[in-house]
Amino acid sequence: MIDDAGHVLTIGYLVIESAAIEVTTVDGRTVPAELVGYDHATGFGLLRAHAPLGAQPIALGESGALALREPVMILPWGAPAAASVAYVVSRREFTGSWEYLLDSAIFVSPPTLVWQGAALVNRGYELVGIGSLLVRDSQRAGQPVPGNMFVPIDLLKPILADLKASGRAAGPPRPWLGMATEETRGRLVVSRVSADSPAARAGVRAGDVVLGVGATPVKTHAELYRSVWALGPAGVEVPLKVLQDGGTKDLLVKSIDRADFFRKKPAY
């Protein structure tokens, strides 16, 4: 809980497209809540409880001030016994297959197995990150040191008022294509295409190799995302060059806002 109005910060993938949301307090009470804001660029989800939670809000710290090897606490949902101590082992770029990029994510180790939406707390008992992933290479890419990736709280501060007021960050949204990719042997391979997404409608298929965005060659997630986002806001047409069925194809993808693709009501 980050303020006296009952706003609860979590990681967005836990709550988007949910049929119902409940917040359980430390004394076991269950309180209904609603999703009032989501930001795909950072991954934050913001809830508001429909009844008092009987808790003190946690202060927002300065995630940019975290030093390497600094001790931190991980506070997941559950009893106080679920809390653990870890160390900041790296601050670096993170890219996900789902059209997601953070310029400087927080990586800590040893890991917790209850990371989803967990609070990362500094020595001043301030919130500095929200748990997103369990990773195998927390210290540096390719080095097998298990840990967790946290989204820095500094990314929330410029958009928090907008999330509370309108449910989203101000400004034009980024273009979204609806395809997941994997970096494999120096190639960017499409692993999944969301049904009825812009990529699917343009003819992108799982197994395709993404070669470029227009005349710009891409081999990594970061190169792909930054090339697409540089074209303009959601709605821009994205020229993709792909290797498909043994030949090169040029596909024009009409991008959309990621939020427009979410189901507004539960569908089963």
SS3 163: helix
Average pLDDT, the chain: 94
pLDDT band with cut points at 50, 70 and 90 for residue 266: very low
Among 5-19, 56-70, 130-144, 170-184, the range scoring the smallest mean pLDDT is 130-144
Does residue 268 carry a pLDDT above 50?
no
What's the pLDDT at 114?
93
Please report which residue ranges of the chain form alpha helices under DSSP H. 160-166, 198-202, 221-229
Order of strands, sheet of 44-49, starting from the edge strand that comes earlier in the sequence = 7-11, 44-49, 30-38, 21-24
Q: What is the mean pLDDT of residues 28-37?
A: 95
pLDDT band with cut points at 50, 70 and 90 for residue 143: confident
Q: pLDDT: is 218 or 141 the higher one?
A: 218
pLDDT band with cut points at 50, 70 and 90 for residue 60: very high
Does residue 111 carry a pLDDT above 70?
yes
What's the pLDDT at 264?
58
pLDDT band with cut points at 50, 70 and 90 for residue 79: low
What's the pLDDT at 140?
81
The pairs formed by 128-133 with CB atoms below 8 angstroms and a separation of 24 or more are 128/61, 128/62, 128/63, 128/66, 128/72, 128/152, 128/153, 129/63, 129/153, 130/9, 130/10, 130/11, 130/43, 130/44, 131/11, 131/74, 131/76, 132/11, 132/43, 132/105
What's the pLDDT at 84?
95
Instruction: Please name each of the domains of the chain with its CATH number.
Output: 63-154 (2.40.10.10), 179-261 (2.30.42.10)
**pLDDT 10s digits, 147-204:** 999 999 999 999 999 999 999 999 999 999 999 999 999 999 999 999 999 999 999 9
What's the pLDDT at 82?
86
Does residue 232 carry a pLDDT above 90?
yes
Length of the chain: 268
Q: Could you tell me what percent of the chain has a pLDDT over 90?
A: 89
Does residue 112 carry a pLDDT above 60?
yes
Does residue 34 carry a pLDDT above 90?
yes
Q: Could you tell me what percent of the chain has a pLDDT over 70?
A: 97
Both tokens assigned to 226: 């930054």
The one-letter amino acid code at 159 reads I
Radius of gyration of the chain (CA): 20
